Structure 1
């Protein structure tokens, strides 16, 4: 998820676009991602 936010066009060689990989995740997995604001 953070990678998608930083580079929406990113591609993982042999796996495909990060956006497509995230879209294929179960919604509960995506919702479980917690933003770490203190790392900015």
Structure 2
């Protein structure tokens, strides 16, 4: 994909202290979209 750096939805959904705070439901939705686009 040519991406680098943190994947913010994954960090927000899986980490206790993510670099960007996000609601769990939004983080999960964005993470699933990221995985599908792989």
- TM class by shorter-chain length? 0.3 to 0.5
Q: Which one scores higher on RCO, CA 8 angstroms, separation ≥ 6?
A: 2
TM-score between both structures, scaled by the size of structure 1: 0.34
Higher radius of gyration, 1 or 2: 1
More helix by share: 2
